[in-house]
Structure 1
Amino acid sequence: MPVLCTADCGRNAFLKRPKTGDTLCKECFFLAFEMEIHNTIEQEQLFHHGDLVAIAASGGKDSTVLAHVLKVLNERYRYGLRLVLLSIDEGITGYRDDSLETVKKNSEDYDMQLKILSYEELYGWTMDKIVAEIGRSNNCTFCGVFRRQALDRGARLMAVDCVATGHNADDIAETVIMNILRGDVARLRRCCDIKTGGHDSDSIPRVKPLKYAYEKEIVMYAHFKKLVYFSTECVFAPNAYRGHARAFLKDLEKVRPLAIMDIIHSGEQLLFKDTVKKPARGVCNRCGFVSSQQPCKACTLLEGLNRGLPKLGIGKKSRGDKMIKAQNMNRHNATSIDNDF
């Protein structure tokens, strides 16, 4: 027997929302999904009229849905935004090169300017080369650090007012779990923030309009809207630590669908003692981008690659300092021996 749409539109329901349990027709689901994102944007004051907004576009479902929805809402509610796409080419053969073709298609479909920056041109390394150097362990650390800074570099080049990323509710809940397991208080304090950067810092603000959108609903929206997106997983992702947090979260969601929101709201309400050390965010004295250490993590990792010490930026800074000291000592001794001959 057909089930009627709970929005009282008179149409038969087509799906059940994983987030709320409501049974909706496609049209009412689209409207509810878009309205929730609009309410998030309005309540959190993510944008200002006239802002130039760069959408961090990977070609995946999240960034594609974000680009589509922002275009729809910008026109429907007259935000007055100028929307552009910013993509980072990490240099992963068989993955990023294919997904960038999807981004280019989105750029045409949504009539948005596209800027692509590569690790090769920014750092002189691709992820393929980095993995060949360091192996499959810790490669996501390099990629994540370089990607975050690459977005800052791209945003500065495009002179945008803010960067909108496709982080969804599942992503944020996973990050909360990861930071708790790692005991990473610094990141735990800010991973639930819907807006980061800006204000007193020199960084361009980043916003997360999809913060309260479930991944399942994003997939459903993209599928039923027939959006063009890239769905292949990164070839280096199976070894990522995040995968374990994701598997744990999916198991929780089976028992309690609201677990994702519960974790996010718990993260938002966390309070820390005044005695807890808070990292001071400043500017890297090498590259000039925002950092909580000197030099920044990106510069440290890059120095390690260029020195032939790929593990330099992994672990504590004191360990890296010892590695540099030992290498310099070896070079000094080698030079002294050569001079003796």
Structure 2
Amino acid sequence: MPRQCEICQQARAVLRRPKTAQRICKDCFYHVFETEVHNTIVDNKLFKRGDRVGIGASGGKDSTVLAYVMKTLNDRHDYGLHLYLLSIDEGIAGYRDDSLETVKRNKEQYNLPLLIVSYEQLYGWSMDSIVEAVGRKNNCTFCGVFRRQALDRGALMLDLDHIVTGHNADDVAETILMNIFRGDLPRLSRCTEIATSGDGYMVRSKPFKYAYEKEIVMYAYLKRLDYFSTECTYSPNAYRGYAREFLKDLEAVRPSAILDIIHSGEAMRIAQEVVMPVVSRCERCGYISSNTVCKACVLLEGLERGLPKLGIAKSMKNTQDLLAEKISRVIICSKMVSACSGAKQ
């Protein structure tokens, strides 16, 4: 017998929310999802009227849903924001060029101005040429560093006040785990912040910080939004994949694990005796950095000199291999716990 929606008690339930396990109808799902994002924005005072806000748009599900929801909420609640789409073309043939076509369609669908900034334009290197020089290992280090700077530089071109990205609850929980595994205290101390300004020239925030990835996928599917779903050509080698696999196993045993990790990360405090890096400016490009020369300039120098490993610590490979092995062991243990729990039931 069809179940009624647990919220409105009238319509037929069509889905079960991963976050709350409620059986609800489509319209109630739209309402609660959008309301939760609105509450996140209002409770954290992310914007002020008149702000020029750039939406980091990749064409993927997260950024596409973010663009749709930001425009919807801006109109519905009269935030008074001026919204823009800001895309980064990393230069990955067969992946980014296709996804940018989706962003261009989103521009027309949501009637938002779009700026596309490329690695080739900013750095003189595309990701394809970087991978050709450095290989498929550690290439995500280059992309991550360059992308953060590219977003800020694109924001300056648009004269923005604020950047929003589609990072969701799963992404935040994965980042917390990665920083714990790596013992990266500086990043661990700020990775749970919903809005940060220490990594760039302006405020960058995550309106989807408490939104589950599965619910974003459901929203995109039910709303029939136009998004690009292919994974990055080079992502299978990313270190984040190990943390993601571990998190999925935890979620299977305990659905609240994602939010539990986020709340734990928010409650963490760095001891006063721990020496934190002092933030200054890169002496070459002027970008914010904790060293005299920023990471991007070091990586670029290595590429230009034909020494692509120059900006990557010699011990990184061994360290990542050891951490990957540790995480794999934890994943195996969590699967054994899950199997034992199932057997007991």
The Cα offsets for residues 277-298 of structure 1, whole Å up to 9 and x where unpaired, read as 1112222121112112220001
Counting aligned pairs with the same residue, the percent is 63
Separation of aligned partners in 2, 1:130 and 1:254: 37
CA positional deviation for 1:247 = 0.3
Provide the TM-score with structure 1 as the length reference.
0.91
1:330 is matched with which residue? none
Q: 1:216 aligns with which of 209, 214, 217?
A: 214
Which amino acid in 2 is paired with 1:77?
H
Q: 1:214 to 1:123 in 2, by over 3 A?
A: same
Which amino acid in 1 is paired with 2:263?
H
2:337 is matched with which residue? none
Separation of aligned partners in 2, 1:54 and 1:246: 27
Which amino acid in 2 is paired with 1:40?
T
Question: Given that residues 168 and 211 in structure 2 are in contact (C-alpha distance below 8 angstroms), is that contact kept between their aligned partners in structure 1?
Answer: yes
Gaps of 5+ in 1: 318-341
Question: Given that residues 55 and 63 in structure 2 are in contact (C-alpha distance below 8 angstroms), is that contact kept between their aligned partners in structure 1?
Answer: yes
Q: 1:313 aligns with which of 306, 311, 334?
A: 311
Separation of aligned partners in 1, 2:195 and 2:186: 16
Which amino acid in 2 is paired with 1:225?
K
CA positional deviation for 1:64 = 0.2
Structure label with greater radius of gyration: 1
Is 1:232 aligned to 2:230, yes or no? yes
CA positional deviation for 1:9 = 4.2
1:149 is matched with which residue? 149
How many correspondences in the alignment?
315
Query: Mapping of 1:1-341 within 5 angstroms?
Result: 1-197=1-197, 203-315=201-313
Separation of aligned partners in 1, 2:270 and 2:165: 27
Separation of aligned partners in 2, 1:39 and 1:250: 26
Secondary structure of 2:117 counterpart: strand
Secondary structure of 2:296 counterpart: helix
RMSD: 1.2
Gaps of 5+ in 2: 316-345
Separation of aligned partners in 1, 2:133 and 2:237: 16
Separation of aligned partners in 1, 2:99 and 2:200: 31
Which amino acid in 2 is paired with 1:8?
C
Secondary structure of 1:115 counterpart: strand
Separation of aligned partners in 2, 1:168 and 1:36: 13
Separation of aligned partners in 2, 1:231 and 1:284: 36
Secondary structure of 2:207 counterpart: coil
Secondary structure of 2:54 counterpart: strand
Separation of aligned partners in 1, 2:52 and 2:252: 40
Provide the TM-score with structure 2 as the length reference.
0.90
The Cα offsets for residues 161-201 of structure 1, whole Å up to 9 and x where unpaired, read as 00000000000000000011101111101110100007xx9
CA positional deviation for 1:74 = 0.4
The Cα offsets for residues 102-126 of structure 1, whole Å up to 9 and x where unpaired, read as 0000011001100000000100000
Question: Given that residues 51 and 80 in structure 1 are in contact (C-alpha distance below 8 angstroms), is that contact kept between their aligned partners in structure 2?
Answer: yes
Secondary structure of 2:229 counterpart: coil
Q: 1:202 to 1:309 in 2, by over 3 A?
A: closer
2:339 is matched with which residue? none
Question: Given that residues 163 and 204 in structure 2 are in contact (C-alpha distance below 8 angstroms), is that contact kept between their aligned partners in structure 1?
Answer: yes
Separation of aligned partners in 1, 2:36 and 2:177: 25
Which amino acid in 2 is paired with 1:29?
F
CA positional deviation for 1:316 = 7.2
Q: 1:42 to 1:316 in 2, by over 3 A?
A: farther
Q: 1:28 to 1:273 in 2, by over 3 A?
A: same
CA positional deviation for 1:8 = 2.4
Which amino acid in 1 is paired with 2:242?
H
Q: 1:132 to 1:316 in 2, by over 3 A?
A: closer
